[in-house]
Amino acid sequence: MSNAAIKLSTADVRRDTVVASAITVFAQTGYLGTSVASVAQHAGISPAYVFKLFPSKELLFVTALDHCFELVRAALEQGAATSKDQTPEAILYAMGEAYADLMADHSLLMLQVHAQSAASVPEIGAALRKGLRIISMFAKTRSQASDDAVQLFIAYGQLCHLIVVTGLDSDTSAWARMITAGIRHP
């Protein structure tokens, strides 16, 4: 009975679909701006059943955020694995490309932006910190790059978020091009 062979109960399957809907909807309207009812509607079930699957809106958001960071980590791993050159710089660059690809639909990016705004909710702040720790440590240990290079990697990730949030990627003015130059804006 390996883990992969375990047949998920329908409640567990439902939970997964609700988390997927939560990522999409929370990414669109943020933590406070999203009603549990709208997540339920996106998932095709009643609001009452969402509360059966997740005890609170807060925990639903945290679960979605945890899942988001796991997807990011997996993407970085995949990116590193497909890097031609296995030097630290090349690996970090490949991770950046993989990150940009993953952010292409903006959902996982916007969820992180909204999480930062909601970080004063203790559980959300903790989840954000944990996700950042996972990403930072994975980038460091997998690439073996210098601390400075990893810091820069994270900083450019944040710049990427700003670019998307402000819509600068489709702004051709000189100042906007200065900010977005060389960034694979998703």
Interaction site with DNA (CB under 7 A): 1-4, 6-11, 14, 34-37, 45-49, 51-52, 55-58
Which of the listed partners (DNA, a copy of itself, none) does 104 bind, with a CB threshold of 5 to 8 Å by partner kind? none
**Is the separation of the CB atoms in 124 and 118 below 8 Å?**
yes
Is residue 30 part of the contact set for a copy of itself (CB under 8 A)? yes
Q: Give the count of residues interacting with a copy of itself (CB under 8 A).
A: 43
Locate 104 and state its tokens. 């292409």
Q: What distance in Å separates the CA atoms of residue 125 and residue 127, rounded to the nearest whole number?
A: 5
Q: What distance in Å separates the CA atoms of residue 81 and residue 99, rounded to the nearest whole number?
A: 13
- Closer residue to a copy of itself in complex, CB, 10/120: 120
As a whole number of Å, the end-to-end CA separation of the chain is 41
Q: Sketch the per residue contact string, 115 through 144, with a copy of itself: x for CB under 8 A, - otherwise.
A: -xxxxx----x--xx--xx--xx--x----
Q: How far is the CB of 8 from DNA (least distance, A)?
A: 4
Helical H segments across the chain, by residue range: 10-29, 36-43, 47-53, 57-81, 88-102, 107-117, 122-143, 147-166, 174-180
Q: Sketch the per residue contact string, 83 through 122, with a copy of itself: x for CB under 8 A, - otherwise.
A: ------------------------------xx-xxxxx--
Q: How far is the CB of 12 from a copy of itself (least distance, A)?
A: 31
Report phi then psi at 136, rounded to 5. -60, -45
Q: How far is the CB of 18 from DNA (least distance, A)?
A: 10
Q: What distance in Å separates the CA atoms of residue 175 and residue 33, rounded to the nearest whole number?
A: 32
